[in-house]
């Protein structure tokens, strides 16, 4: 990363300072689950300092998984008025595993603060790259929107680990894309693979990249165009969660039943089959003690404080859920693990309002991807596009569909309104759909075949 920043600085660009990328590294540590500065520690036992490792629930990743599943899941659909554009976008999404990889990028963007989609042509095929925050280097921005950017990715070329640097520069109103390859070991320049141009003019003011972030103010650096992790303000709470969880595990470890055995009873005895121990060394509940006053087995049962720990853990989970914008009761702790609430949420809830807020950024990115794909395919990129997000957690979609069907049957609404309400189609798409259905079955009665 240092070599990349030095190279970009040498080209005359002002890049974001190292302190912010240090924050990204910190968020990455919590996302991975183990932060050495917190989860690894030493403890004095009266004789020596012993290295310890705290248990973790991995809640930072869980928070980001939930946000990604709420925002960009398999039910999200793009509806484009232009049929050729719709086909091109659908093909590119399928070829690039967009519903899987896009969901993964949103998860990383919410963990690290920023993510990017980058589109290009490879032998006539549209390719979408998914870039995480630590490989994104803004070069110019305006009103918080990144207008020029460099993207780095690690690739293996001819068995050599390389850094591929992709710069998107706005010159004279259109974007130019520059490609460069460096050896990772010493950042020495390498020739580009066959068929990859060093530089080309896209011929459009339309960027071939889209930035996605949580829709939150970057309170780490107010003038920085990159985003912040969705759990950036909850690091103390994440520590609290793992402190309680580690103590909870220790409670069962330390509270394990013990049977104190006089040392004499734990000795080797002789028999017909030779010498055998009275107690198996693998039976960890037995503990031999050299104490002359101890003449028989003594059972020790420690009282477990499971309930206070579970209450404290649940309290911390509620705080974490609220702080990360997921509402107060998103997570519940059970002995089998952390569970996510699945009930339909209210439009007045914090989760609903935050979800709608984050969808604004996702919608802009998705529309940008669709237009970039069409531009690369030589199609008209100026078209109306609507994004249908998954509303099943916000409203009871089955109940809405049933009510809409009843109202259509009663003549309160027509087929077009039914399609717009139930399938989230635009009015134009719904009109076209109804027309196509009637052309396929001109003799069928109105109302999708129902007698009225």
CB 432 within 8 A of CB 426: no
Q: Per-residue pLDDT for 284 more than 50?
A: no
pLDDT reported for residue 345: 65
Q: What is the spatial order of strands in the sheet that 115-122 belongs to? A: 125-132, 115-122, 209-212
Specify the higher pLDDT residue, 124 or 126.
126
Calpha distance 181→162 (Å, rounded)? 7
Among residues 176, 297, 197, 314, the alpha carbon closest in space to that of 244 is found at 314
- pLDDT-derived band at 275 (thresholds 50, 70, 90) equals very low
Range from 62-71, 235-244, 328-337 carrying the lowest mean pLDDT = 328-337
* Helix-then-strand count for the chain, H and E: 12, 20
pLDDT reported for residue 451: 42
CB 337 within 8 A of CB 76: no
Q: How is residue 405 written in tokens?
A: 């069907």
Task: Name every residue whose Cβ is closer than 8 Å to that of residue 274 and which is 6 or more positions away in sequence.
Answer: none
pLDDT, tens digit, 9 for 90 and up, residues 3-43? 898 999 999 998 999 999 999 999 999 999 999 999 998 87
Beta-strand relationship, 385-388 and 337-340: unpaired
Among residues 358, 405, 388, 431, the alpha carbon closest in space to that of 66 is found at 358
CB 189 within 8 A of CB 180: yes
pLDDT, tens digit, 9 for 90 and up, residues 293-343? 665 555 555 566 677 888 899 999 999 999 999 988 888 887 666 777 666
pLDDT, tens digit, 9 for 90 and up, residues 135-156? 999 999 999 999 999 999 888 8
Whole-prediction pTM: 0.78
Q: Per-residue pLDDT for 257 more than 50?
A: yes
Range from 188-197, 235-244, 249-258, 412-421 carrying the lowest mean pLDDT = 249-258
Alpha carbon dihedral 356, 359, 364, 370, in 10-degree steps, equals -130
Specify the higher pLDDT residue, 255 or 115.
115
How many CB atoms within 10 Å of residue 174? 13
Average pLDDT, the chain: 85
DSSP track, 166-180? EEEEEETTEEEEEEE
- The partner residues of 299 in beta bridges, in order of sequence, read 259
What's the distance, CA 199 to chain centroid?
Answer: 33
CB 225 within 8 A of CB 239: no
Which residue matches tokens 């209450």?
311
Q: Which helix (H) or strand (E) holds 290?
A: none
């Amino acid at each position: 990363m240092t070599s990349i920043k030095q190279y970009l600085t040498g080209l005359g660009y002002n890049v974001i300072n190292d302190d912010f990328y240090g924050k990204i590294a910190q968020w990455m540590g919590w996302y991975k689950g183990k932060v050495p500065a917190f989860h690894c520690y030493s403890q004095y036992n009266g004789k020596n300092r012993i290295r310890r490792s705290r248990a973790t629930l991995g809640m930072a990743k869980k928070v980001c998984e939930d946000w990604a599943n709420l925002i960009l899941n398999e039910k999200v659909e793009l509806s484009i008025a232009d049929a050729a554009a719709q086909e091109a976008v659908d093909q590119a999404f399928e070829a690039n595993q967009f519903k899987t990889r896009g969901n993964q990028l949103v998860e990383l963007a919410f963990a690290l603060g920023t993510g990017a989609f980058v589109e290009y042509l490879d032998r006539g095929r549209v390719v979408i790259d998914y870039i995480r925050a630590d490989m994104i280097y803004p070069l110019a921005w305006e009103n918080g929107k990144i207008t020029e950017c460099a993207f780095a990715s690690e690739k293996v070329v001819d068995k050599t680990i390389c850094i591929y640097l992709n710069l998107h520069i706005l010159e004279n109103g259109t974007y130019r894309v520059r490609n460069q390859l460096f050896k990772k070991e010493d950042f020495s320049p390498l020739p580009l693979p066959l068929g990859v141009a060093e530089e080309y003019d896209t011929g459009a003011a339309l960027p071939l990249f889209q930035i996605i972030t949580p829709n939150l103010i970057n309170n780490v650096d107010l003038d920085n165009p990159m985003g912040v992790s969705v759990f950036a303000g909850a690091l103390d709470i994440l520590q609290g969660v793992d402190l309680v969880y580690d103590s909870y595990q220790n409670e069962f470890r330390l509270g394990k039943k013990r049977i104190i055995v006089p040392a004499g009873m734990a000795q080797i005895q002789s028999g017909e089959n030779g010498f055998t121990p009275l107690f198996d060394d693998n039976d960890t509940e037995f503990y031999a003690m050299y104490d002359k006053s101890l003449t028989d087995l003594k059972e020790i049962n420690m009282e477990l404080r499971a309930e206070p720990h579970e209450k404290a853990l649940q309290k911390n989970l509620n705080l974490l859920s609220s702080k990360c914008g997921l509402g107060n009761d998103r997570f519940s702790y059970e002995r089998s693990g952390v569970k996510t609430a699945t009930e339909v949420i209210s439009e007045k809830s914090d989760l609903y309002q935050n979800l709608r807020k984050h969808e604004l950024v996702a919608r802009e990115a998705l529309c940008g991807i669709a237009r970039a794909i069409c531009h690369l395919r030589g199609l008209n990129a100026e078209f109306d596009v609507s994004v249908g997000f998954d509303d099943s957690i916000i409203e009871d979609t089955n109940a809405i569909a049933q009510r809409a069907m009843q109202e259509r049957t009663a003549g309160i609404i027509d087929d077009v309104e039914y399609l717009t309400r139930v399938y989230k189609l635009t009015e134009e798409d719904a009109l076209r759909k109804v027309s196509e259905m009637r052309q396929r079955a001109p003799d069928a009665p109105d109302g999708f075949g129902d007698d009225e």
